[in-house]
């Protein structure tokens, strides 16, 4: 199923809703909008999501931004349901942001088709 890009971004960007859960508590989960970013190595969740479902810090990760600045961020282990597929538990970075970022650590589980000309995309389980 083709989904529309989110025109709130300039230029428009592929965004979809995902479900984030605690691995040991299947009934504790929340929904969050996530920007599809094949340029990102790792998936990022907003701090508000981690707080809402009581995620525990599982470590730290140093990241280098596009500006070359290195920062240390907390890691949390979560389950993600993306495009109706629930993935095995995965470590994600937690940062102060409003949207999640789906990085290649998650996207590599799917077939991703970006149709920039039509401003639509598809993310499906192979």
Report the pLDDT value the prediction gives residue 83, as an integer from 0 to 100: 95
- What pTM does this model have? 0.91
pLDDT of the chain along its 126 residues, tens only? Answer: 799 999 999 999 999 999 999 988 778 999 999 999 999 999 999 999 999 999 999 999 998 888 999 999 999 999 999 999 999 999 999 999 999 999 999 999 999 999 999 999 999 998
| Residue 91 placed within a domain | yes
CATH number of the domain encompassing residue 49? 2.40.70.10
CA 35/CA 5 separation, integer angstroms: 10
Residues spanned by the domain of 53: 3-121
Number of domains in the chain: 1
Burial environment of residue 99 by CB neighbours within 10 A (0 to 12, 13 to 18, 19 or more): middle
| Residue 126 placed within a domain | no
CA dihedral (91, 97, 99, 104) positive or negative: negative
| Residue 22 placed within a domain | yes
Burial environment of residue 91 by CB neighbours within 10 A (0 to 12, 13 to 18, 19 or more): middle
Report the pLDDT value the prediction gives residue 88, as an integer from 0 to 100: 95
Report the pLDDT value the prediction gives residue 92, as an integer from 0 to 100: 97
């Amino acid at each position: 199923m083709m989904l529309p890009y989110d025109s709130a971004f300039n230029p428009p960007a592929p965004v979809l809703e995902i479900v984030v859960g605690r691995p040991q508590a299947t009934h504790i989960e929340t929904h969050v909008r996530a920007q599809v970013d094949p340029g990102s190595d790792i998936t990022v969740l907003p701090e508000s999501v981690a707080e809402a479902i009581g995620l525990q810090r599982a470590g730290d990760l140093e990241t280098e931004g596009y500006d070359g600045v290195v920062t240390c961020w907390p890691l949390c282990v979560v389950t993600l349901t993306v495009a109706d597929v629930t993935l095995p538990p995965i470590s994600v970075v937690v940062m102060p942001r409003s949207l999640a970022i789906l990085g290649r650590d998650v996207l590599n589980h799917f077939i991703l088709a970006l149709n920039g000309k039509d401003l639509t995309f598809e993310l499906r389980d192979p």
